């Protein structure tokens, strides 16, 4: 654990983004009247709510626009992976098809038939697709956006939902242009394509739209990183945190963002772990609820794409074995998580030497100081903080190995 106690205090006193002001006030008053035991049920409810938060993302566009490839890219899957959306098939279904995220099944991408590729009139399409159920919409086109795309965007706006225009397969367009021109300016050509899309949508009644030019095969290029940031920023706080955790590990920046989201849950786990389930563990300076510790570390691994299924998919993608990836990461936290692994890694070891004054700085946001030194709260907080830090470093090492293999 690095950082001074004052910086730790500042870090801990940040308002957690997934509590409403009303919930924070209730936490504070319950804590003041009944202490930690009184707020535990509220926190258990919140943890369950976060685990069960659903996110439904609609991807619409005409057949051949690249919706399936985009849906797979956002879920970190290739077309041959289990659960991948079928690519290159003729669109026959008129029903929305849902594809759950491989690690977080409450996050679903829905493939909606394009408004222009269906038997429906625009009006009956809007009714049939039940637009209210989706959190936001991605409207994908491969060449031109149509009047129907604009009509759909207007209806989505009327419902108070966000929508994003995505122009796909930009790499193929640029390659084709590059072969036809002796001097080629990629940025200038991209701006021409963007201006053309904006102009089409403007004529159809969408003023100043933002259009993202992407390739689903080159997720660190063109507008893909900018699109990901925009999609998250348009969501309410709890759903934004879920969206971030469902992203594939495309960059160090995404891994660190996931770490920030997970870190904001640690104090809740720490408070819940105190009391009834806490038992003395040889090698640790305080009693802990080892079940909660192990469950939290397993959850961190899943969200950071370090669970076995995610590592297996990555190994297939990079032609490396899972063993090679694990060897490069050199982390015991990729083994089966047991009490012995946690003790052996000396996670939270610094808690042994923390003074009572420093311990008082570990606070639950909106509640105030909760425990003295040596408490189950402090020990759990330290262990999970250390484990998260190690797993983030591990995820960054795995990413570097994967990038080196391409």
Residue predicted with more confidence, 64 or 16: 64
Res. 15 pLDDT band, cuts 50 70 90: very low
Average pLDDT of the residues in 140-162: 89
User: Best-predicted range by mean pLDDT among 15-29, 171-185, 347-361?
Assistant: 171-185
> Phi first, then psi: what are they for 107, rounded to 5°?
-95, 120
43 three-state secondary structure: helix
pTM above 0.75, yes or no: yes
Delineate the domains of the chain, giving CATH numbers in brackets.
5-52+249-405 (no CATH), 55-243 (3.40.50.300)
Q: From the CA atom positions of the chain, what is the Rg in Å?
A: 24
Picking from 52, 142, 60, the residue whose alpha carbon sits closest to that of residue 97 is 60
CB atoms under 10 Å from CB of 248, counted, come to 20
Structure tokens, 402: 């994967």
Q: At how many degrees (to 10) do helices 224-233 and 237-245 cross? A: 150
Please give the structure tokens belonging to residue 234.
């348009």
Is pLDDT of 259 > 60?
Answer: yes
pLDDT digits (tens, 9 = 90+) for 237-253: 889 999 999 999 999 99
User: pLDDT tier at 108 (50, 70, 90 boundaries)?
Assistant: very high
Cα angle, residue 287 at apex, residues 285 and 288 outer, rounded to 5°: 115
Q: What are phi and psi of 55, to 5 degrees?
A: -135, 120
User: Which pLDDT value is given to residue 274?
Assistant: 66
CA distance 128 to 135: 17
CA-CA-CA-CA torsion sign (107, 56, 242, 330): positive
Residue 358 above 70 pLDDT? no
């Amino acid at each position: 654990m690095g950082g001074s106690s004052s910086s730790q205090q500042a870090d801990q006193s940040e308002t957690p983004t997934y509590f409403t002001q009303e919930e924070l006030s209730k936490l504070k008053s319950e804590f003041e009247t009944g202490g930690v035991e009184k707020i535990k049920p509220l926190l258990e409810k919140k943890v369950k709510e976060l685990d069960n938060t659903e996110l439904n993302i609609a991807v619409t566009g005409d057949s051949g626009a690249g919706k399936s490839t985009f849906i797979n890219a956002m879920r970190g899957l290739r077309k041959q992976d289990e659960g991948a959306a079928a690519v290159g098939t003729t669109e026959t279904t008129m029903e929305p098809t849902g594809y759950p995220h491989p690690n977080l099944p409450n996050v679903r991408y829905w493939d909606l038939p394009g408004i222009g590729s269906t038997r429906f009139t625009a009006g009956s399409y809007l009714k049939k697709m039940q637009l209210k159920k989706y959190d936001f919409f991605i409207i994908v086109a491969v060449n031109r956006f149509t009047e129907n795309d604009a009509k759909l965007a207007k209806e989505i706006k009327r419902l108070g939902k966000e929508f994003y225009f995505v122009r796909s397969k930009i790499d193929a367009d640029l390659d084709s242009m590059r072969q036809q021109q002796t001097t080629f300016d990629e940025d200038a050509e991209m701006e021409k394509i963007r201006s053309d899309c904006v102009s089409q949508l403007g004529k159809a009644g969408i003023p100043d739209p933002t259009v993202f030019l992407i390739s689903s095969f080159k997720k660190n290029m063109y507008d893909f990183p900018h699109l990901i940031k925009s999609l998250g920023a348009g969501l309410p706080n709890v759903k934004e945190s879920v969206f971030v955790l469902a992203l594939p590990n495309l960059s160090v920046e995404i891994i660190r963002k996931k770490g920030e989201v997970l870190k904001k849950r640690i104090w809740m786990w720490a408070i819940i772990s105190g009391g009834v389930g806490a038992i003395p563990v040889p090698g640790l300076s305080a009693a802990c609820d080892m079940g909660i510790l192990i469950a939290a570390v397993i959850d961190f691994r899943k969200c950071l794409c370090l669970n076995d299924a995610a590592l297996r998919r990555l190994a297939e993608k990079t032609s490396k074995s899972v063993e090679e990836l694990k060897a490069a990461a050199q982390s015991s936290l990729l083994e089966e998580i047991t009490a012995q692994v946690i003790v052996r890694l000396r996670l939270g070891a610094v808690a042994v030497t923390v003074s009572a004054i420093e311990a008082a700085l570990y606070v639950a946001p909106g509640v105030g100081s909760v425990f003295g030194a040596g408490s189950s709260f402090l020990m759990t907080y330290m262990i999970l903080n250390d484990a998260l830090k190690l797993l983030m470093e591990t995820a960054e090492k795995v990413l570097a190995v994967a990038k080196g293999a391409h």
